[in-house]
């Protein structure tokens, strides 16, 4: 191939994920080597494969690099305030219980600024599918230490290395009461797509953590190479252990990453519990048996 400028589409056709994406907004703002796009790819393919009615699906995201997903999908989507993706999604679900509500956000948005909402949504077991793209850092604001940053990492706020213990998100949400907890890296694209399809079959709070590189701020500062090097590291160091005790799956900077489906259990969700409580205290004739829908 010559060194000339090439601007045309080679073998023009239709990308199967284009039906989920707002293609007029492409190319997107994510950096070269950033894998948020890969997670969106897996999500879009999970939607296509599981044949979910896209009209009954809403995607809610917060602020941050991952928060931009809401603007790039051709679904009913909502880009909310920082950390409040889960409260907005909870309101959406309670007002219209027939909706499939997906929360798609980053680790800083879900576990730091919105940490309280995360544990309480898991405790109440609200029927939300939460996809948390964990790039181990606050990426959009310039690489500050996040609650998920593993020890000894160099960040812009800890130039001599972090020393705080970090959150182990699967352990946190399992303890709070989530019914489905899985973790994959962006290397495990097909497993991630399958996990997202499985989460749609569950009723209750489902949490999928996706470990993703931030080549611009995390990998560069810690001299871990670029996005491709990180993907090779994920390939080499991740171990699939389904049902692993979540207390043992904490992350380190260069160590092993335990991935897999950790929790899959059944527990009545918020609206089921509400209805059964009201039936008990008020009597069945005063309780709506059909799910109410605000229109």
Partner 1 sequence: MAEGRVSIVVEHCKACGFCVEFCPTHVLELSSAFNSKGYHPPHAVHPERCSGCDLCGMYCPDFAIYATKVAPGKERDK
Catalog residues that contact partner 1 under the rule CB under 8 A.
Answer: 1-13, 15-18, 21, 23, 26-28, 30-38, 41-42, 45, 189-190, 193, 226-228, 231-232
Q: Alpha helix (H) ranges present in 134-184?
A: 169-176
Closest CA to 17 of 37, 44, 42, 38: 44
Q: Whole-number minimum distance, CB 10 to partner 1, in Å?
A: 5
Q: String of b and e for 202-217 (b: at least 16 CB within 10 Å)?
A: bebbbbbbbbbbbbbb
Q: Whole-number minimum distance, CB 17 to partner 1, in Å?
A: 6
Tracing tokens 């590291």 back to the chain, one arrives at 233
Residue 270: CA count within 13 A, CB half-sphere: 19
Identify which of residues 228 and 240 has a Cβ nearer to partner 1 in the complex. 228
Q: How far is CA 266 from CA 50, 130, 205, in A?
A: 21, 17, 10
Identify which of residues 40 and 257 has a Cβ nearer to partner 1 in the complex. 40
Q: Whole-number minimum distance, CB 21 to partner 1, in Å?
A: 6
Identify which of residues 11 and 201 has a Cβ nearer to partner 1 in the complex. 11
Q: Whole-number minimum distance, CB 291 to partner 1, in Å?
A: 35
Q: Whole-number minimum distance, CB 47 to partner 1, in Å?
A: 14
Identify which of residues 114 and 213 has a Cβ nearer to partner 1 in the complex. 213
CA–CA separation, 147 and 250 (whole Å) = 12
Q: How many CB atoms lie within 10 A of CB 13?
A: 8
Identify which of residues 84 and 194 has a Cβ nearer to partner 1 in the complex. 194
Q: Whole-number minimum distance, CB 272 to partner 1, in Å?
A: 36
Identify which of residues 11 and 295 has a Cβ nearer to partner 1 in the complex. 11
**For residue 261, what are the β-bridge partners?**
182
């Amino acid at each position: 191939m010559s060194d000339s400028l090439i601007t045309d589409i080679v073998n023009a056709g239709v990308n199967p994920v284009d039906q989920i994406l707002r293609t007029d907004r492409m190319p997107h703002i994510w950096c070269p080597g950033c894998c948020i796009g890969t997670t969106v790819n897996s999500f879009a393919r999970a939607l296509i494969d599981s044949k979910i009615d896209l009209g009954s699906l809403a995607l809610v995201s917060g602020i941050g690099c991952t928060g931009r997903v809401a603007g790039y999908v051709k679904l009913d989507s909502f880009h909310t305030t920082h950390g409040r993706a889960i409260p907005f999604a909870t309101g959406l679900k309670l007002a219209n219980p027939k909706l499939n509500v997906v929360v798609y956000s980053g680790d800083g948005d879900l576990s730091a600024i919105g940490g309280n909402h995360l544990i309480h949504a898991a405790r109440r077991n609200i029927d939300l599918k939460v996809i948390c793209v964990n790039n181990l850092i606050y990426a959009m604001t310039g690489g500050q230490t996040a609650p998920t940053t593993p020890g000894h990492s160099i960040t812009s706020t800890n130039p001599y290395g972090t020393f705080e213990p970090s959150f182990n998100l699967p352990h946190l949400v399992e303890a709070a009461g989530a019914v489905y907890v899985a973790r994959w890296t962006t290397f495990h694209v097909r497993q991630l797509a399958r996990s997202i399809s499985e989460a749609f079959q569950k009723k209750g709070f489902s949490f999928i953590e996706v470990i993703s590189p931030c080549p611009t701020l995390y990998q560069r500062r810690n001299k871990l190479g670029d996005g491709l090097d990180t993907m090779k590291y994920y390939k080499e160091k991740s171990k699939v252990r389904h049902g692993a005790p979540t207390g043992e799956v904490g992350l380190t900077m260069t160590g092993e990453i335990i991935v897999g489906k950790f929790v899959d259990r059944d527990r009545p969700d918020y609206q089921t519990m509400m209805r059964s409580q009201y039936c008990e205290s008020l009597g069945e004739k005063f309780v709506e048996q059909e799910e109410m829908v605000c229109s």
